[in-house]
Amino acid sequence: MSNKPYEIVERPPTVLEHQTLWEAVGWGKVNIEMTEQSIANSIYCVVAISDENVIGMGRIVGDGAMYYYIQDVAVLPEYQNLGIGKQIIEKLLHYIKDHCSGAGFVGLFASHGKNEFYEKFGFQDHSPGMTGMFLIVGG
């Protein structure tokens, strides 16, 4: 566990930073071409930086009006459990609350075992009445 200081910065991760974090938390391999366009199309992004290195990230995708999806919240394993993920989520939610003029829908998919973390921010599992589903096309 690291006690080095860090800061949350409003900017997108680079493709390499995104790939490093993605793979460090065990999400598999990244398609670099898709990642570059995906990051470019984000509504809002933040990164956590320590010693000039990106140690965490989070971003928002969606239509910027009614639907917002929190994506790619990841913190390097050696920096987890220090409150960095909490600060990333708080920053993302603050952005949404400042930019959503009505009742907005904020969705996310939590990694296995992370439901409790997101429940602290008001996210709920709405099954069986509603379920989160997804389809992967191509590759």
What is the set of active-site residues?
118
Are 81 and 116 spatial neighbours (Cβ–Cβ below 8 Å)? Answer: no
Among 65, 61, 60, which residue's Cα sits nearest to residue 101? 65
Are 35 and 59 spatial neighbours (Cβ–Cβ below 8 Å)? Answer: no
Question: CB under 8 Å to 80, separation ≥6 — which residues?
Answer: none
List, in sequence order, every residue forming a beta bridge with 50; answer none if it has no partner: 53
Among 68, 115, 112, which residue's Cα sits nearest to residue 94? 68
